[in-house]
Amino acid sequence: MAKAHSLFRVHRSQLLPALDAVFEAVDKRAKIPQLGNILLNPEGDTLNLRATDMDIEIEAGCDLLDVADDAEAITIKGTDLRDIVRNLPEAAEIEFLPASYNGQVRIRSGKSSFSIFTLPASDFPSMTTKIKGKVFEIAMPEVTAAFGKVAHAVQTKDIGRTWMMGIHMHPMQDERIGFAALDGVGLAAVQIRTAHLLDFPGIIMPLKTTQVIRKLFDDVQEPAQIEVADNLIRIKCNGITLHSVLLEGKFPEHYLTAAPADYEREVFVTVAALKAAVARVCLVATESDKDGIRLTLERDTMRVELASKEGESAVDYVPIQYEGETGFSIGLNNEALRGILGTIDTQDVIIRFGGSLPNAVFRPSVGADELYVISPMNARGGEA
């Protein structure tokens, strides 16, 4: 029997990073088999990989060691391919060859060999031809950091307001980009500086997309090229191209007015101390989305308390700097409060209460151009 010739050969150190990148777009529970596959397309000296779940599409490439003249594109189940490549030695050279049966490909490295089912590459879907919009460049670390700071305020349940289920990104009138999320309980807003004034339509990115962007580009220092259209975004950076659908709906243009300038009380508190006190009183919580935390201002301390529906309660105290009237009390959603305290990077936080709106507004004590808002709620007090 004639020996099967190699379709293409690639080093594991080249293939695995590209494979890990596109795997983020594989539909792990695909009802349409192609959406669970990864397309491998040898072109010249490069192996191009692509995966899509039709909400996100990711492309990446790697260098080939060699390739046959008649090598054609194939698609392989993403989970199988990644498991095989990950379990091969770091120094492995991986060959892709025709298998003994139609509809399969053979993957060989050293003494290891696998015969894996394939699907026709001609049936593999693509989002790449559907975008034409505004293009700009931006450094990604600040963008991914901004996504991380506002992600806790994204609504994760579908309550009929699609715009709450993603992160709003829009240019501002000066050389800044605004990022915001609003879930009906709280608001998170961050602004970053850009090298020049940008012009693109404001968009709402699905939370999943922003999570993938953070994973792919968090540590990448080279600038990304971003193209924004009405319903799609394309990001090219570090040899990776990501496409994503955008959410429909209109994010409130004046969302920053949720933080009133005419506040009546201002508290200066250490983030770690307040975070620890909140964590302790939450030990008695039974419904994390309904058991609110009550904050009460005293002369040099803030009383932090939570009482569950079942009658259990917890109280703690945190040192504060505060010169206003004592006795003011407010109930806040404990999930929103913990989300904010887990986001702020500075040692201390400034909290403002009262004014034309009853919201509680949190700002880092120095530096960062960001704010967080929580609407008040009824919260039971704890036993002293």
Q: Which CATH architecture has domain 8-123?
A: Roll (3.10)
Q: How far apart are CA 118 and CA 32, in angstroms?
A: 14
Between CA 39 and CA 44, with CA 42 as vertex, the angle to 5 degrees is 155
User: How confident is the model at residue 2, as a pLDDT?
Assistant: 44
Output the pLDDT for position 299.
87
For residue 216, the tally of other CB atoms under 10 A from its CB is 23
Q: For residue 152, what pLDDT is reported?
A: 96
Bridge partners, 245 (sequence order): 232
For domain 134-252, give the CATH number: 3.10.150.10
pLDDT at res. 1: 37
pLDDT for position 3: 53
Looking at domain 259-374, what is its CATH homologous superfamily? DNA Polymerase III, subunit A, domain 2 (3.10.150.10)
* Pairwise CA distance, residues 308 & 303, whole Å: 17
- pLDDT in single tens digits along all 384 residues of the chain: 345 678 999 999 999 999 999 999 999 888 899 999 999 999 999 999 999 999 999 999 999 999 999 899 999 999 999 999 999 999 999 999 998 888 999 999 999 999 999 999 999 998 876 678 889 999 999 999 999 999 999 998 888 899 999 999 999 988 899 999 999 899 999 999 998 888 888 999 999 999 999 999 998 988 999 999 878 999 999 999 999 999 999 999 999 999 988 999 999 999 999 999 999 999 998 887 678 999 999 989 999 999 988 889 999 999 999 998 899 999 999 999 999 999 999 999 999 998 888 999 999 998 779 999 999 998 766 554
- Location of each CATH 3.10.150.10 domain in the chain: 8-123, 134-252, 259-374
Residues 373, 384: Cα–Cα separation, whole Å: 28
pLDDT (0 to 100) of residue 160: 84
Q: Residue 384 has what pLDDT?
A: 47
DSSP for residue 154:
S
- In this prediction, residue 109 carries a pLDDT of 97
Q: Which residues pair with 349 in a beta bridge?
A: 269, 364
